[in-house]
Structure 1
């Protein structure tokens, strides 16, 4: 296998292919990532979501960006309903308040809850994205998974196995990849291992993007505070969008039921080291599960 490693959207990517990617394929991947980032990054002053944060309004989108918006907002509706509002695409203001802002000040202030009526405030149609009131959109619960799917789709005609790894969000096409479930507190060890065949495996952990005392990026929109019960999640689904969403949902009550409805297999570790898994999880765990 040939590997191409690069940095994008603030993290490390790796694409494995049977044959080396030529210049045009690499350029296309770069264009896809740049277009997505230019719409959804709250860390860029020139992004679409940054243009909406102060006053709201409607921003025109390209057809591909409209497709991204429609797919992600549909999944967010399922996430919000399953977690009773814990997961929301308007969590950005709460992240800003705790210091995980566009400037990455990492200086926590007073916790701020996310707007409760986001489905009324935020919508998309064939023309673009509309935000009725000032708010900070953050699609971190599903965005990287969606982008991994789009990049994987752009490489679908390549022969052999293609693995797109967006730093923990992995989509495998045309074969099988054996992937370790990295221990959240020790990156040199694993909780288990699973084979991924023409599917996606996404992971999330509170030890990633953590700062100050007990602060991390997985916030409950109802409180504006980090979740505390679960420290790491892994979800295996038919695509990375739903695997990424399920990995986020699993930090909340109701998330396991949503993952089960989607047909996603999953594992999660609690703050006291207890491990749960879905019924029929196809991998091997190195610790006795609690479920």
Structure 2
């Protein structure tokens, strides 16, 4: 991970632990600015906060203005919604709540799995303006943490900090001069690794069905067309220039082969399946243990 001489700024935000590592300590004013970025982002996008813009969408249809990052986020989601034929969708929030992954973290299903509404039926996403025709539970969890990593990176750069490593509980952005060797977590035993990969400049994000799992085989990666958890892939990794893209593609790998995604996106990837097999791109430079 980061060089031993580096300084860490650690905090909690959007339900996960963060570490921003830099060659020297960040001054107090910059730390405050970074925390303000996290608070603003949470206040806009969280479906777990009653006062967020996203929560307002769940109560009343209408026109909602979101920050500028909504432009890139919406374009990426729209592309992946099409590629996965509706399986990956920002409208999966209601399906997650139905199975118990709700704002109260009840983890108790309220009924059978519920498919997500079709994007074209309920949502117009035009730049940073979202217009809804019915109450809906927007959930950008498939790409949201990566988006926030990139927003924090932009804040660091705007303040003259150009060398850093951001670790959002395993989703990483390396903006340092040397590669970081990252262990690839075993999908069935977090204490073990199935391999390692060097992360040079850029982002590495992972998704795994064991990370948010509850009940009888329930986890957070749902197929929007059925509302049910995906059963084929169990863990994925994606490496790309931006953390937003790497985070989103790590989820998309649960629904479509990486080779198909490579036709649209420039990234490298690894997918581990429930039968123990694995597939990976020619550009994935990791080493898998035997």
TM-score interval for Structure 1 and Structure 2 normalised by the shorter chain:
over 0.9
Tell me which moved more, 166-175 or 81-90.
166-175
Q: Counterparts in 2 of 1:172-187, with a 5 A limit?
A: 172-175=174-177, 176-187=179-190
Find the aligned partners of 1:60 and 1:281 in 2 and give their Cα distance. Answer: 38
Aligned partner of 2:95 in structure 1 is 94
Task: Mark the runs of 5 or more structure 1 residues left unpaired by the alignment.
Answer: none
SS of residue matched to 1:77: helix
SS of residue matched to 1:244: helix
Aligned partner of 2:124 in structure 1 is 122
Are the aligned partners of 2:38 and 2:148 in contact in 1 as well (CA < 8 Å)? yes
Deviations, residues 191-218 of structure 1 (Å, cap 9, x unaligned) = 2211212200000100011110100000
SS of residue matched to 1:135: coil
Find the aligned partners of 1:144 and 1:256 in 2 and give their Cα distance. Answer: 24
Shift of 1:3: 1.3
Tell me which moved more, 252-261 or 188-197.
252-261
**Aligned residue pair count:** 282
Find the aligned partners of 2:274 and 2:155 in 1 and give their Cα distance. Answer: 38
Aligned partner of 2:237 in structure 1 is 234
Are the aligned partners of 1:259 and 1:266 in contact in 2 as well (CA < 8 Å)? no
Shift of 1:161: 3.3
Task: Mark the runs of 5 or more structure 2 residues left unpaired by the alignment.
Answer: 1-5
SS of residue matched to 1:226: coil
In the alignment, is residue 283 of structure 1 matched against residue 286 of structure 2?
yes
Deviations, residues 44-95 of structure 1 (Å, cap 9, x unaligned) = 000001101122111233xxx1x21111110001111111110001000000
Deviations, residues 21-55 of structure 1 (Å, cap 9, x unaligned) = 11111111101111111011000000001101122
Find the aligned partners of 2:18 and 2:259 in 1 and give their Cα distance. Answer: 28
Aligned partner of 2:204 in structure 1 is 201
Deviations, residues 154-197 of structure 1 (Å, cap 9, x unaligned) = 11255563011111211111322221111122222212211212
Find the aligned partners of 2:202 and 2:241 in 1 and give their Cα distance. Answer: 5
Are the aligned partners of 1:83 and 1:255 in contact in 2 as well (CA < 8 Å)? no
In the alignment, is residue 15 of structure 1 matched against residue 20 of structure 2?
yes
Find the aligned partners of 1:36 and 1:119 in 2 and give their Cα distance. Answer: 27
Find the aligned partners of 1:153 and 1:196 in 2 and give their Cα distance. Answer: 19
In the alignment, is residue 248 of structure 1 matched against residue 238 of structure 2?
no
In the alignment, is residue 113 of structure 1 matched against residue 115 of structure 2?
yes
Distance 1:179 1:46, change over 3 A: same
In the alignment, is residue 40 of structure 1 matched against residue 9 of structure 2?
no
Aligned partner of 1:167 in structure 2 is 169
SS of residue matched to 2:282: coil
Aligned partner of 2:133 in structure 1 is 132
TM-score, L = length of structure 1: 0.92
Aligned partner of 2:3 in structure 1 is none
- Root mean square deviation, CA, Å: 1.6
Distance 1:279 1:57, change over 3 A: same
Find the aligned partners of 2:261 and 2:79 in 1 and give their Cα distance. Answer: 8
